[in-house]
Chain A
Amino acid sequence: MRSLRIIGTLFLKDLRVEWRQRETLASICVFGLLVVFLFDFAFQPAGEESLRLLPGVIWIAFAFAGILGFNRSFAAERENACLEGLRLAPIDPGLIYLAKMLANFLFLAIAEVVIVFAASLWYNFSFLAAFDWFFCVVFFGTLGYVAVGVIFAAVAANTRMREVMLPILQFPVIIPLFIGAIEATTSILKGEPPAQFASWVKLLIAFSIIFIVLSFLLFEYVLEE
């Protein structure tokens, strides 16, 4: 119960900081839109083709937008030694990780709504046909992505060139998640029955669970001085 309250407090702190500046959310939404827009320009897809490209485009947009958010999330903590303050608090470091994860999950989810909306508009496509499954895949895909992203952002915050370091750490590790998410999204958009992509959804769930637990346990060492 106490843990939940701590997570809640830390989560609300991140939301309050974001609400006062509104920098992160605005930048990741705009960046996500730009990625979709550029892809539309680069490939100029039409009809069948757009159905083939769309899953890849939206997941790449999610990935780029996410990276931007994770970097911001820890860059802000470095100013005025906020991270030291958090470290000194008498709480389990794993809880700080979970709170950071929730906040980043929320920000990325908002950006994803914007991205999906723009993509369906520009590619003339409706995601509503199998929305429950689409939602499920995006939910677990994002969860796994944020789970890895937050701990790597905390590591990268300790390096020179941290904005560059984060994607170099992050992208090789999330490849299985990416394969699963894109394959499942493709199946869903094609209107295939759930049995076709059930194993991918299971992979996304397993990936999320494994990396949330692992990062929860390891975060202590990331914060250690």
Chain B
Amino acid sequence: MRKNASLTAHGILTLVWIVVALYMIFIYVPTDVNQGNVYRIMYIHVPSAWTAMVAYFLIFLGGVWYIWKRSQFADDLAYASGEVGFIFCSCVLITGPLWAKPIWGIWWTWDPRLTLTFILWLLFVAYLLLRTLFVNPSRAALLSAVVGIIGFVDVPIDYMAIRWWRTQHPQPVVMGGPNSGLAPSMLATLLVSWGAFLCLFAFLVRQRIALAESRREVSQLRREWATDEGQEF
């Protein structure tokens, strides 16, 4: 019961935080001189990307933790982070082109960061697909931990390779993004928005973990019931 209360409180906090972030994004923060209102999508796009990276890091952390301590919680954490992180990573890939089309004039370019995000998305997909396809679920935790760790180690190497690769070629479009010198009000909005995303992420992950625990509990109870009644499942 106490756990439920804490989850509800977390949910309410998330909701309030999102409302505050939305207020800051749409009303408080001034419109960009060069890009107009379109730029406001950055406050969704950038926090999603950062949250997706946190999620992938948690897959890695959960994997290492599981291999080390064999804690069921670590595996639940990794799986839940994978699922929720995948949603955030998809959000990055959807909001990015929506911004790029009016600003760059094209939906997509193989710029280092875009390429890396797409690879991260593929890693999420591979991880989630793998988790659904195990013949023997008892080995799922260990094997997906291995895959999560290998994928995580790969990300920085990817980043280096793609940067060298692309800096050897001319850029297809001029990057006009707000690279340097973000105004204080914009930075504040970005951070508040990221906070809201992290809070939402944590809330969803906690829900998923609670769901996984309930599922295990149900199957345990079913087994007990079956042995009591002498029934076969």
Q: Using an 8 Å CB-CB cutoff, how does the interface string of A163-180 with B read, 1 for contact, 0 for none?
A: 001001101110110011
- Is residue B154 contacting chain A, with contact meaning CB distance below 8 A? yes
B158 touches A160 (CB 8 A): no
Q: How distant is A150 from chain B, measured CB to nearest CB, in Å?
A: 12
The main secondary structure of chain B at its interface with chain A is helix
B135 touches A221 (CB 8 A): no
Q: How many residues from B make CB contacts under 8 Å with A? A: 31
- Is residue A35 contacting chain B, with contact meaning CB distance below 8 A? no
Complex alpha-carbon distance, A161 and B213, angstroms = 28
Residues of chain A within 8 A (CB-CB) of B211 are none
- Is residue A155 contacting chain B, with contact meaning CB distance below 8 A? yes
- Is residue B149 contacting chain A, with contact meaning CB distance below 8 A? yes
With A158-B134, A214-B150, A222-B146 in contact, is A168–B125 under 8 Å at CB?
yes
Selecting from A61-69, A105-113, A203-211, the interface stretch reads A203-211
Question: Considering only CB atoms, which chain A residue lies closest to B143 in the complex?
Answer: A155
Which of these, B123, B125, B146, contacts A221 with CB under 8 Å?
B146
A210 touches B153 (CB 8 A): yes
- Is residue A48 contacting chain B, with contact meaning CB distance below 8 A? no
- Is residue A218 contacting chain B, with contact meaning CB distance below 8 A? yes
A159 touches B157 (CB 8 A): no
Other than A175-B158, A179-B161, A222-B142, give 13 A-B pairs with Cβ distance below 8 A.
A172-B126, A172-B151, A172-B154, A173-B123, A183-B168, A203-B161, A207-B157, A211-B150, A214-B150, A221-B145, A222-B146, A224-B139, A224-B142
B: residues with CB less than 8 A from A are 67, 119, 122-123, 125-126, 129-130, 133-136, 139, 142-143, 145-147, 149-151, 153-154, 157-158, 160-162, 164-165, 168
Q: Which 3 A-B pairs have the closest CB atoms?
A: A176-B161, A172-B122, A159-B133
